Amino acid sequence: AQSVAQPEDQVNVAEGNPLTVKCTYSVSGNPYLFWYVQYPNRGLQFLLKYITGDNLVKGSYGFEAEFNKSQTSFHLKKPSALVSDSALYFCAVRDPSNDYKLSFGAGTTVTVRA
Amino acid sequence: GAGVSQSPRYKVAKRGQDVALRCDPISGHVSLFWYQQALGQGPEFLTYFQNEAQLDKSGLPSDRFFAERPEGSVSTLKIQRTQQEDSAVYLCASSLGTWTGAGNTEAFFGQGTRLTVV
């Protein structure tokens, strides 16, 4: 069975500083990995995905994520955080053999202070 | 419409009441999913439709939960005899393609319906 762990419930950074949100995964085959963001009273918004190819994936709003197979990690990064990045971030994994089911982590609340 | 639309946005139900939650997926999207998000948790898979066919309902927590998509577009999630543990946000998502292992189709989520059972 596939699973995702987000080891930090909360991440706090100052505006302009780098932001990292950690994610590790467990899946039997090669994973398909996703990051979603959830703003208050809004649905999940897709940020980026890793399917194959380059380990560094670039997505929306200046976010990027690095796939590390040996460490089974897919950490989300942004070089310079904005106050507007404050939200709840979810990492998710799909096992290609399981096709359609997304398994989500518990989420990490990011707070960027001015 | 431009995105996945869910209604109502909020629903308060008395314990034992039946509820129906609606999802309008993005036009032309073949795949439709329902997820349940409890407070402080990530979304949990409930069920999956490919067009009108419900291919997987393994995540439905009990036989009180029922989902349908009769014409392959709008979907309804029905919960009978609601219980307090049903309180959660119910998310609907759709994606353009079918899940054939290609894996490169992301799901687009609606804003969710927050169900509170009192």
DSSP B12-60: EE-TT--EEEEEEPPTT--EEEEEEE-TTS--EEEEEEETTEEEE-TT-
pLDDT at res. B36 = 97
| pLDDT higher than threshold 50 for residue A61 | yes
Judging contacts by C-beta atoms under 8 Å, the chain A residues touching residue B55 are: 100
Return the H-helix or E-strand segment holding A49: strand A44-50
CB distance from B90 to chain A under 8 Å?
no
Average pLDDT, chain A: 92
pLDDT at res. B106 = 79
* A36 confidence band (pLDDT: 50, 70, 90): very high
CB distance from B107 to chain A under 8 Å?
yes
Chain A residue nearest residue B49, CA to CA: A100
The pLDDT of B15-27, averaged and rounded, is: 97
The pLDDT of B90-108, averaged and rounded, is: 75
Instruction: Determine how many CB atoms are found less than 10 A away from the CB of residue B23.
Output: 27
B33 to A100: CB separation less than 8 angstroms, yes or no: yes
| pLDDT higher than threshold 50 for residue B101 | no
Counting one residue from chain A and one from chain B, the pairs whose CB atoms sit within 8 A come to 63
Instruction: Determine how many CB atoms are found less than 10 A away from the CB of residue B91.
Output: 25
| pLDDT higher than threshold 80 for residue B105 | no
B72-89 residue pLDDT tens:
999 999 999 999 999 999
CB distance from A63 to chain B under 8 Å?
no
Beta bridge partners of B20: B78
B34-85 residue pLDDT tens:
999 999 899 999 999 999 999 999 999 999 999 999 999 999 999 999 999 9
Judging contacts by C-beta atoms under 8 Å, the chain A residues touching residue B100 are: 99
- Do A38 and A105 contact (CB within 8 A), yes or no? no
A106 to B42: CB separation less than 8 angstroms, yes or no: yes
**Comparing C-alpha atoms, which of B39, B42, B40, B80 is closest to residue B61?**
B80
| pLDDT higher than threshold 90 for residue A97 | no
A34 to B31: CB separation less than 8 angstroms, yes or no: no
| pLDDT higher than threshold 60 for residue A55 | yes
Return the H-helix or E-strand segment holding A89: strand A87-94
